[in-house]
């Protein structure tokens, strides 16, 4: 009996899976990578079956960080859930807040003032810079760089976190968006700081790319590794940079045109191979587009109220109904599905977590690759366990 | 005579004079023994200290490259001043000595214990034949180069022992990787210095250094690295040395993002420190050998700099090479094990073999007319450069920067 018979994917997982039934191959080795492994980005676990160094089976195990997020949401008031959304993807609290706010605003029919829409776009794009920069740093660390790219990525992250802290009072758990606007109005100084960050970011990216993008070893390691076909990506519901790296043109900022995104001129970079290198490059190019959006938004931000004056914060009870709000988060489509029965708490609260859904096809990408590849493939998926396990 | 004057200079002769002052009164048979013991003690002392401070230098340089200060907290005891964290290595030493030594229950206890000792022993053995300065070679051997690489090759066994004895799957994978890697890179490492032996006509390290004496036009030293075949050999040697000493970008056996710490996963306390030490000793020994074979050994690069004692020249070159190792580590990501072995077998080994033929052409052309003497430079450069480009193209086929389209 060959291993491809044993494989849960059967024949279709097959082209990469070598038959190992002859006497020249010994036993298979089952290695449990995680939940305390240096490169599983948290408490993720992969049970990997190896033939030599080649992966013939990979079973992802998660749930170590499960904390009843959705049930908590159903037992908390609408506003009470807002700080909890920070803890989902703890690198991107601003976009999590926004996606949740959009869902509730849809449910309650709450308008948002223009200035708040601009601030939301600015914060979302800064979050995208933050997330992609960190991801690039982590990915390079997984590739075996001795910390150099990560340190420079984290230098930029510090600048962004300082901005977040001066605006919301917290570096990572911002809890900033409200239904019908934002919690505080950014000062002129803050906007100037954001402008400086934006203007300096292109230079950082040039520096980062000069060291890494053209590096022979990085290209040899990542090109052709962890290939994801567009068909499988669409069938599995993969979104975000990972989907666009396979060449599928799907960016909610363009297709949904939510917020004030239609006012800005930006492009959506697409990959062609769907491998790790494409995923890395699509993110880098997306950062450059984000810089363009930020420059336009910071130049065009109007004066006015940051919060809709009619917005009701206390005793907030939307009428019975359901709503699904989604935005293009840095990791993919982050969506919140809410069912209201007219009470202060949602009847049903559901999170569509992009990293969780992007992670489901991990085995398909890893089969036939080596252990070293599995680590960078996982790194290129861009997961945050707080969001995967919820 | 400048040369004679420098040879007789006090500082140049100081180590030998000092040794003779200590052991001169002993009868002849005893004197040899005590001299050898002094050499052993000196090597252990000097390289032990060097190891301690290179670990600090590595962390400091890595820190500098990475936009952070590096370790700077450890104070000097009693006076409580920090001096840039200069006492960090001693703090590390005390820490590793006092840490609990954990041996896994299922481990092969004897092998688990023996592996770090064997690794360290073999890497110290290699120090015996390196000429550290004029008249400063611990053991004069006719086949010194052969001995050096024989002793160095035994370290592979120790790494495999460590991985096998730990009874850990990561360690086992690392042991398999280490064997594949070290055996693959042993070949280019050996082939890269054969040209030197061919030209110098000897396997003795002292004689190889002597073969690199003198200057062309009074300022270009006769080092092997300043010839086409010597430069190619030096580069191949250093790349293979990087792999042999498990340094980035060839650190697959202890790939921390994949295999936790590879063969070191189940080691703690002082055994771990021994591994660490052996790895640095291996790096120092290979750098020392590279200096001896290609960089003129302890000889100074320019005639008017000869007043600096030879052992300082050796030390300076050693530190420069170590800095290169650290710089590479700070810059490059890791190769995958199959790419790593492919790089050895399909690129370095053929290149080293071609370089061997190149050296033969070089030495054949050196015996004829002045025109041929001049012509051998472009000819030999072409002999090595053309295969370099062709093999390199083939190796990196299908790997190229990409152009991205926008929706």
pLDDT > 90? residue A310: no
Enumerate the residues of chain B whose CB falls inside 8 A of the CB of residue A50. 173
- B173–A268 C-beta distance less than 8 A: no
* Cis status, amide bond into B249, omega within 30 of 0: yes
For residue A138, what is the nearest residue in chain B, using CA coordinates? B257
Q: Does B248 touch chain A (CB under 8 A)?
A: yes
Put simply, whether B239 touches A (Cβ < 8 Å) is no
| Out of B258, B333, B339, closest to residue A145 by CB | B333
Report the pLDDT value the prediction gives residue A12, as an integer from 0 to 100: 42
* Of the candidate ranges A136-145, A340-349, B304-313, B330-339, the one whose mean pLDDT is the lowest: B304-313
pLDDT of residue B372: 75
Which of B333, B394, B405 has the most A C-beta neighbours within 10 Å, making it the best mutation to test the interface with A?
A: B333
- Model pLDDT for residues A20-79, shown as the tens digit of each residue: 455 555 678 888 887 888 777 778 888 888 887 888 888 888 888 888 888 988 988 888
CB-based contact A323:A107 (threshold 8 Å): yes
- Chain A residue numbers with beta carbons less than 8 Å from the beta carbon of B407 are 249, 251, 254, 267-270
Beta strands in B4-153 (DSSP E): none
pLDDT at A45: 87
- Residue B335 at interface with chain A, using a CB cutoff of 8 Å: yes
Question: Does the beta carbon of B337 lie under 8 angstroms from any beta carbon of chain A?
Answer: yes
**How many A-B residue pairs are in contact by the CB < 8 A criterion?**
124
pLDDT exceeds 60 at position A80: yes
CB distance A37–B252 less than 8 Å?
A: no
CB contact under 8 A, A147 and B62: yes
| Closest chain B C-alpha to A145 CA, distance in angstroms | 4
Chain A residue numbers with beta carbons less than 8 Å from the beta carbon of B335 are: 217, 220-221
Mean pLDDT confidence for A215-237: 88
Coil, strand or helix: which one is A182? Answer: strand
Phi, psi of A49 (to 5 degrees): -100, 125
Query: CA of A93 to nearest chain B CA: how many angstroms apart?
Result: 27
Neighbours of B126 (CB within 10 A): 24
**Contact between chains at B333 and A217 (C-beta distance less than 8 A):** yes
Kindly report the backbone phi and psi dihedral angles of residue B215, in degrees, each rounded to the nearest multiple of 5, phi listed first.
Answer: -135, 145
Res. A94: pLDDT tops 60: yes
| pLDDT(A16) > 50 | no
Outline where A213-274 has alpha helix (H): 216-222, 230-236, 241-245, 252-255
pLDDT of residue B5: 47
Selected residue of A33, A50, A145 to mutate for chain B interface (largest B Cβ count, 10 A) = A145
Q: What's the mean per-residue pLDDT of chain A?
A: 85
Neighbours of A246 (CB within 10 A): 24
- Give me the residue from B176, B260, B329 closest to A146, CB to CB: B329
Return the residue of B nearest to A155 by Cα: B67
CA pair distance B343, A239, nearest whole angstrom:
37
What was the pLDDT predicted at B7? 59
With beta carbons under 8 A apart, name residues in chain B contacting A213: 401
Is the Cβ–Cβ distance between B43 and B124 less than 8 Å?
yes
Residue ranges of chain B with pLDDT lower than 70?
Answer: 1-8
Q: Taking the CA of residue B86 as centre, how many other CA atoms within 13 Å lie in the half-sphere pointing to its CB?
A: 7
pLDDT for A337 beyond 90: yes
The answer for residues whose C-beta is within 8 angstroms of residue A245's C-beta and 6 or more apart is A228, A270, A271, A273, A274, A275, A278, A279, A281, A282
Output the pLDDT for position A128.
Answer: 92
Compute the half-sphere exposure of residue A76: CA atoms within 13 Å on the CB side of its CA: 15
| pLDDT, position A198 | 92
Chain B CB contacts of A142 under 8 Å are 257
Mean pLDDT of A286-296: 91
Q: What percent of chain A has pLDDT over 90?
A: 24
A217 neighbourhood in chain B, CB within 8 Å: 249, 332-335
A217 → closest Cβ in B260, B335, B406: B335
Domains of chain A in start order, with CATH, are: 3-61 (no CATH), 69-389 (1.10.645.10)
CB contact under 8 A, A38 and B256: yes
Residue with the two structure tokens 């359901």: A322
Q: Is the CB of A148 less than 8 angstroms away from the CB of B330?
A: yes
User: With an 8 Å Cβ cutoff, is B95 touching chain A?
Assistant: no
pTM here is 0.85
Instruction: State which residue of chain A sits closest to B69, comparing Cα positions.
Output: A151
- Number of neighbouring beta carbons within 10 Å of residue B52: 18
User: Is A278's CB within 8 Å of B334's CB?
Assistant: no
| Residues on chain A touching B62 (C-beta within 8 angstroms) | 146-148
Task: Determine the distance in angstroms separating the CA of B315 from the nearest CA of chain A, rounded to an integer.
Answer: 27
């Amino acid at each position: 009996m060959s291993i491809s018979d044993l494989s849960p994917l059967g024949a279709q997982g097959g082209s990469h899976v070598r038959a190992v039934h002859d006497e020249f191959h010994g036993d298979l080795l089952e290695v449990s990578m995680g939940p305390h492994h240096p490169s599983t980005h948290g408490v993720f676990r992969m049970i990997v079956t190896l033939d030599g160094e080649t992966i013939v089976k990979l079973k992802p195990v998660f749930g170590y960080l499960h904390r009843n997020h959705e049930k908590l949401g159903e037992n908390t008031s609408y506003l009470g859930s807002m700080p909890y959304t920070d803890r989902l993807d703890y690198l991107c609290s601003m976009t999590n807040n926004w996606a949740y706010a959009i869902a509730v605003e849809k449910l309650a029919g709450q308008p948002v003032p223009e200035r708040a829409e601009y601030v939301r776009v600015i914060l979302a794009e800064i979050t995208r810079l933050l997330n992609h920069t960190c991801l690039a740093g982590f990915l390079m660390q997984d590739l075996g760089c001795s910390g150099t790219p990560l340190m420079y990525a984290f230098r930029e992250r510090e600048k962004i976190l300082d901005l977040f802290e001066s605006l919301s009072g917290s570096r990572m758990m911002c809890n900033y968006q409200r239904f019908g606007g934002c919690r505080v109005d950014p000062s002129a100084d803050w906007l100037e700081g954001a402008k400086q960050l934006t203007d300096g970011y292109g230079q950082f990216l040039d520096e980062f790319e000069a060291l890494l993008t053209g590096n022979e070893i990085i290209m040899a390691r990542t090109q052709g590794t962890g290939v994801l076909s567009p068909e499988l990506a669409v069938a599995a519901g993969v979104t975000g940079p990972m989907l666009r790296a396979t060449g599928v043109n799907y960016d909610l900022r363009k297709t949904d045109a939510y917020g004030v995104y239609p006012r800005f001129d930006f492009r959506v970079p697409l990959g062609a191979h769907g491998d790790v290198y494409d995923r890395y490059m699509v993110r880098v190019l997306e950062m450059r587009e984000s810089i363009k959006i930020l420059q336009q938004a910071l130049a065009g931000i109007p004066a006015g109220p940051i919060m809709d004056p009619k917005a009701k914060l206390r005793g907030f009870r939307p009428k019975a109904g359901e709503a699904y709000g989604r935005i293009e988060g840095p990791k993919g489509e982050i969506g919140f599905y809410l069912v209201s029965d007219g009470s202060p708490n949602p009847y049903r609260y559901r999170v569509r977590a992009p990293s969780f859904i992007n992670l489901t096809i991990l085995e398909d990408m890893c089969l036939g690759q080596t252990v070293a590849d599995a680590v960078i493939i996982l790194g290129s998926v861009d997961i945050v366990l707080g969001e995967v396990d919820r | 005579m400048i040369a004679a004057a420098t040879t007789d200079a006090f500082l140049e002769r100081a180590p030998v004079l000092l040794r003779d002052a200590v052991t001169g009164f002993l009868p002849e048979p005893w004197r040899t023994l005590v001299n050898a013991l002094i050499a052993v003690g000196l090597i252990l002392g000097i390289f032990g200290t060097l190891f301690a401070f290179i670990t600090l230098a590595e962390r400091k340089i890595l820190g500098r490259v990475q936009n952070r200060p590096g370790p700077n907290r450890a104070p000097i005891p009693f006076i409580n001043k920090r001096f840039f964290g200069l006492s960090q290595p001693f703090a590390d030493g005390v820490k590793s000595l006092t840490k609990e030594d954990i041996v896994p229950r299922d481990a092969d206890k004897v092998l688990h214990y023996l592996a770090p000792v064997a690794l360290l022993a073999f890497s110290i053995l290699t120090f015996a034949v390196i000429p550290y300065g004029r008249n400063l070679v611990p053991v004069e051997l006719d086949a010194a180069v052969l001995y050096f690489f024989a002793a160095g090759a035994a370290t592979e066994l120790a790494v495999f022992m460590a991985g096998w004895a730990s009874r850990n799957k990561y360690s086992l994978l690392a042991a398999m990787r280490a064997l594949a890697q070290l055996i693959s890179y042993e070949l280019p490492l050996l082939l890269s210095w054969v040209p030197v032996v061919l030209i110098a006509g000897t396997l003795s390290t002292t004689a190889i250094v002597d073969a690199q004496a003198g200057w062309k036009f009074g300022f270009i030293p006769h080092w092997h690295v300043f010839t086409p075949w010597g430069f190619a050999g030096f580069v191949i040697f250093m790349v293979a040395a990087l792999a042999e000493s498990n340094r980035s970008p060839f650190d697959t056996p202890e790939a921390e993002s994949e295999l936790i710490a590879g063969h070191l996963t189940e080691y703690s306390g002082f055994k771990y420190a021994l591994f660490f030490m052996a790895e640095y000793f291996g790096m120092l020994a290979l750098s020392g050998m590279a200096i001896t074979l290609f960089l003129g050994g302890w000889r100074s690069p320019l005639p008017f700099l000869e007043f600096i004692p030879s052992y300082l020249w050796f030390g300076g070159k050693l530190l420069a090479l170590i800095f290169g190792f650290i710089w590479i580590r700070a810059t490059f990501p890791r190769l995958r094990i199959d790419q790593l072995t492919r790089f050895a077998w399909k690129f370095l080994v053929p290149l080293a073999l071609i370089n061997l033929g190149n050296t033969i052409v070089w030495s054949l052309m050196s015996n004829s007319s002045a025109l041929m003497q001049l012509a051998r430079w472009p000819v030999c450069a072409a002999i090595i450069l053309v295969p370099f480009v062709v093999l390199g193209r083939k190796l990196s086929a299908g790997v190229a920067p990409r152009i991205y389209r926008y929706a």
